[in-house]
Amino acid sequence: DVKVTQSSRYLVKRTGEKVFLECVQDMDHENMFWYRQDPGLGLRLIYFSYDVKMKEKGDIPEGYSVSREKKERFSLILESASTNQTSMYLCASSFSGIGYEQYFGPGTRLTVT
Amino acid sequence: QKEVEQNSGPLSVPEGAIASLNCTYSDRGSQSFFWYRQYSGKSPELIMFIYSNGDKEDGRFTAQLNKASQYVSLLIRDSQPSDSATYLCAAGAGNNRKLIWGLGTSLAVNP
């Protein structure tokens, strides 16, 4: 079974704080993704990585950065959290190549006050 | 803009009926298609994937793909109240590692 874990299920941060969200997968997947999900807006891709130290911007990268130093771990960083970053954050992973299914972690519900 | 479109619902069916969920996609280069189920407050979980035209069955679930019409569907036979969830359709983004996601269809199965 594919296992994707995320560091926190719920997180509350203050405006301006630096926030780290971590994701770990145990299936030796090459691709890892960070999404946010908001009511009525669906899943929106923030960043993805197809190899260690490699990353590509998704549809909404502004205000976020990522780090992938090891194959199994992909971190999302909010440099200076803002209230409009309150959301559900979902990490996913997949095998290398085109069009493979993605497996999701449980999600982190982030609230920025 | 590459898109995947789904009827937002809610789709309401009685217990034991067949639920039919539909999805259309715009990118003719898409070769792989996925159905995910998402319970409220939880993350999406993969139900099925389909790559070839025609039907693919897995238990109570059947995925159907028609590339000429750019249409994907999911049939759930003998629907149960536990099937009540939002169903997300996704398409492989052609020559790309990403998936294009629909907004989801909400399904309610009434006992």
A32 at B interface, C-beta within 8 A:
no
A5-47 tens-digit pLDDT: 999 999 999 999 999 999 999 999 999 999 999 999 999 999 9
| Mutation for testing the B interface, residue in A29, A49, A104 having most B CBs under 10 Å | A104
CA A99/CA A30 separation, integer angstroms: 13
Q: How far is B84 from chain A (nearest CA, A)?
A: 17
pLDDT reported for residue B29: 87
> B43-60 pLDDT, tens per residue?
999 999 999 999 999 999
Q: What is the mean pLDDT of chain B?
A: 94
More confident residue, B98 or A34: A34
Band (pLDDT 50/70/90 cuts) for residue B2 is confident
ω before B10 within 30° of 0 (cis)? Answer: yes
Helix (H), strand (E), coil (C) string for B7-76: CCCCEEEECCCCEEEEEEECCCCCCCEEEEEECCCCCCEEEEEECCCEEEEECCEEEEEECCCCEEEEEE
CA distance B30 to A80: 37
Asked if the model's pLDDT at residue A60 lies above 80, the reply is: yes
Question: Does the pLDDT at position B17 exceed 80?
Answer: yes
